[in-house]
Structure formats: structure tokens, C-alpha cells
């Protein structure tokens, strides 16, 4: 009987919602939601897929059940309609909360049938578990996989770190073990709120500088200690975002101050480097190695940004990239309310949520040191 119902759904589509309603989470992967939807009915993932449409999957049900943690599920327009009916929603409502159902990600198919597909990897972003405490608060009793711009997410409300490698398990690693890292993420948020995209890109630059240091100097004592405190492997790539963040936040403050000072002469550059050298000595980071990333950043920020007009619209109705400046979102006494970045930064950085791509520095976490 169940097989007949499934075959009917292939031909005509589902006509009514499944008995148990499951609500999608904003930012959740489609595969994760469909998996939770199946479990809500007492079904396994492979059993529900038959009701969403046609597709190819492994004949091994164990492998199929692992799909939501390793890749993403994509559907065509008809498949999205089927899924909407099954969960008691609408296609447009699902597109508002499930990133991979956006129009740009719908499968282009010649058939009018509902189709789904699980490629080897997500087409965009990374699969990262939702903070376990957040999941529990929303009534979710299993791991919910989110589409994240970066390979990791931080929940400052519950002080949990989750990543695509599931460090710390599905519920995430408690940042109470690493209070310096938790504070660094608060500073990152403050910089973003104060300066908007400019603040996010400067923090991305600082993170890339710290990545360069860690890649060349993974045995630095403070990073090893933090990794051990969290019960992680010190020199594993997934550990880096956790242990580097305090230094990245401190460097971000230095980069911001340099841009705000608006001086590019040799004396100003030398003084800035010496100040950072003193700080790096205190961190135990070898300056003779670490200075290379700093010099690269200085070279890309060697010229001052053009003075921006009073309005955001230039002659052609838009601000030139090097004239971008942002008003403060968190005003405070003695804090600069506007910030501009160098044209050299603008030519390389991308206005994106991906930390590495938002930086003007080209290397990426996980690259061998010899390629940086």
C-alpha cells in the first residue's frame, strides 16, 4: 500500500500535508529539513524521498541517511512544489527560509516531473550543525544542518562553536572552555555593527593574517594550549578558527586604527609595525615570520582612499569602490564614526559573507605554507 501511495505521488504529486508538521529553520539545508520531515513521520530519509519526486541515490540506505551531513539536496520547481505540499507550506515560504531552494539553485530539467538531486558537495556554502542549545529551544531533537558561508558558526547566545567537521559533536563545542575566543567573537560583531561591510572586511584581513601565522607557526604555545584546553588536536586545520580568533581580533583593531589614522608615510608604517611587533612578542609569535603577512597587507593598503562626498551617490548615482565609507552603527564617545579603506584592498576583496573571500589577502586556511 505504501508503495502504491509513493508511486501515485510520483505521477500526480502529493495532495495533502504529511500528518506531523515539521517547521524548517531559517538557513537550514534542504537535505536536513527533508531528513527531519521524514523522521517526524516515523520514516527514514530514503522512504520520504520517493514522495518528493524522482532522483538517483545509493541503494544502501545507510549511505542515503548520511547524505544530510555531507551534501545538499536540490530540487526542480516541481519538486519544490511537492515538498511544500508535504510540509504544509508554500514554495515561496520555503524559499524564504531554505537557502538552497532559492530560484538560482533550482534544478533546470527538461521533464515536467518532480526531480531531486544530491551532488557530491553543496553548490554554495558549507554544512554546519546548528548550535545544539538553539536546536533544543526550537523543539529540534536531532542535528540540524545549516548552510553556512564559512566552515564554522559561533552562537554567542549559548557560547557554542560548530563546524563542518562536527568538532565537539553535533551540539557543538562550548566556548566556555575558551573565554578569549568567545570575547574575540564579540569584538568581531562589534566591529561589524560599527562599520558594516568595511568592518567585516578588515576583520577578514586580520583573520587571514592570523591564518598565515598559524600555518607557518602551528606550534606557537598559546595556540597549542587553547587547543588542549578544548580537547582538540593542536595542529588540525578545523582547530585553527577556534585558537586564532583572539589574535585576529587584536590585529583587526590595529588594522582599523591604521586605516583611521590616514597616514601612509614610512614613519607611520614603521611605528605601526613596531607596535605590532611588541604585541606579537607578548603572544610568542615569531615576528621574523609573522611580518611577511603584515607587509603584504601594508602593500595592499599603501595609498589613502579618495575623500568621499557627503552623500552616498557619486556622479553616476553610486559611490566609487575606493570612496566607500560607513557610518557607525554603535556610536560611542571618542570612537570614529566613519571609516574608509585603501583602493588596494577594494581591488581584491569581495563583498561576501565568506571570511576568506572578504579579505584582500589571497591565501586560504588549509593551504600548505609553501603556497602562501
Give the burial class of 60: count Cβ atoms within 10 A of its Cβ; 0-12 exposed, 13-18 middle, 19 or more buried: exposed
Answer whether residue 326 shows pLDDT above 80. Answer: no
Residue-wise pLDDT tens digits, 341-368? 777 676 665 655 577 778 999 998 999 9
- Cα 371 vs. chain centroid, distance in angstroms? 23
What pLDDT, on a 0 to 100 scale, did the predictor assign at position 153? 92
Q: What is the mean pLDDT of residues 185-192?
A: 94
Q: What is the mean pLDDT of residues 239-257?
A: 95
| CA-closest candidate to residue 83, choices 51, 117, 57 | 51
Phi, psi (rounded to 5 degrees) for 288: -60, -25
Residue-wise pLDDT tens digits, 68-110? 999 999 999 999 999 999 999 999 999 999 999 999 999 998 8
Q: What is the mean pLDDT of residues 55-59?
A: 90
Written as one string, the DSSP assignment of 123-173 is SSSEEEEPPHHHHHHTT--S--EEEESSSEEEETTTTEEEETT-TT-TT-E
Calculate ∠ Cα 273-274-280, nearest 5°: 85
Q: What does the alpha-carbon distance between residue 38 and residue 35 come to, in Å, rounded to a whole number?
A: 5
Average pLDDT of the residues of the chain: 85
What pLDDT, on a 0 to 100 scale, did the predictor assign at position 349? 57
Answer whether residue 289 shows pLDDT above 80. Answer: yes
Answer whether residue 145 shows pLDDT above 70. Answer: yes
| CA-closest candidate to residue 28, choices 81, 87, 101, 91 | 101
Q: What is the mean pLDDT of residues 227-237?
A: 92
Place of cell 587547543: 227
Q: Tell me if 285 sits within 8 A of 220, measured CB to CB.
A: yes
Q: What does the alpha-carbon distance between residue 248 and residue 134 come to, in Å, rounded to a whole number?
A: 26
What is residue 233's three-state secondary structure? coil
Q: Tell me if 287 sits within 8 A of 281, measured CB to CB.
A: yes
Amino acid at each position: 500500500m505504501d508503495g502504491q501511495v509513493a508511486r501515485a505521488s510520483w505521477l500526480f504529486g502529493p495532495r495533502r500535508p504529511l500528518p506531523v508538521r515539521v517547521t524548517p529553520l531559517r538557513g537550514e539545508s534542504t537535505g536536513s529539513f527533508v531528513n527531519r520531515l521524514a523522521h517526524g513521520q516515523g520514516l527514514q530519509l530514503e522512504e520520504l524521498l520517493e514522495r518528493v519526486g524522482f532522483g538517483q541515490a545509493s541503494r544502501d540506505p545507510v549511505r542515503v541517511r548520511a547524505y544530510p551531513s555531507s551534501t545538499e539536496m536540490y530540487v526542480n520547481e516541481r519538486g519544490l512544489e511537492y515538498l511544500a505540499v508535504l510540509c504544509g507550506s508554500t514554495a515561496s515560504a520555503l524559499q524564504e527560509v531554505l537557502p538552497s531552494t532559492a530560484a538560482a539553485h533550482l534544478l533546470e530539467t527538461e521533464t515536467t516531473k518532480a526531480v531531486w538531486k544530491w551532488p557530491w558537495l553543496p553548490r554554495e556554502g558549507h554544512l554546519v550543525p546548528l548550535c545544539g542549545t538553539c536546536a533544543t529551544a526550537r523543539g529540534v531533537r536531532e542535528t540540524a544542518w545549516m548552510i553556512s558561508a564559512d566552515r564554522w558558526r559561533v552562537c554567542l547566545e549559548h557560547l557554542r562553536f560548530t563546524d563542518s567537521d562536527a568538532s565537539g559533536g553535533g551540539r557543538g563545542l562550548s566556548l566556555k572552555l575558551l573565554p578569549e575566543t568567545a570575547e574575540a567573537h564579540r569584538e568581531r560583531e562589534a566591529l561589524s555593527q560599527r562599520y558594516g561591510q568595511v568592518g567585516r572586511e578588515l576583520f577578514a584581513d586580520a583573520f587571514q593574517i592570523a591564518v598565515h601565522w598559524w600555518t607557518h607557526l602551528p606550534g606557537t604555545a598559546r595556540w597549542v594550549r587553547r587547543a588542549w584546553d578544548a580537547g582538540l588536536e593542536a595542529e588540525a586545520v578545523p582547530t585553527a578558527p577556534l585558537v586564532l580568533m583572539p589574535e585576529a581580533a587584536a590585529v583587526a583593531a590595529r588594522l582599523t586604527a591604521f586605516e583611521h589614522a590616514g597616514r601612509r608615510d614610512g614613519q607611520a608604517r614603521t611605528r605601526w609595525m613596531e607596535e605590532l611587533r611588541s604585541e606579537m612578542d607578548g603572544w610568542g609569535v615569531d615576528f621574523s615570520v609573522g611580518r611577511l603577512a603584515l607587509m603584504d597587507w601594508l602593500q595592499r593598503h599603501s595609498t589613502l582612499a579618495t575623500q568621499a562626498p557627503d552623500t552616498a551617490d557619486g556622479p553616476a548615482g553610486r559611490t566609487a569602490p575606493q570612496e566607500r565609507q560607513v557610518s557607525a552603527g554603535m556610536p560611542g564617545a571618542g570612537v570614529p564614526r566613519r571609516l574608509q579603506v585603501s583602493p588596494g584592498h577594494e581591488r581584491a576583496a569581495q563583498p561576501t559573507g565568506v571570511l576568506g573571500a572578504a579579505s584582500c589577502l589571497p591565501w586560504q586556511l588549509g593551504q600548505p605554507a609553501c603556497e602562501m
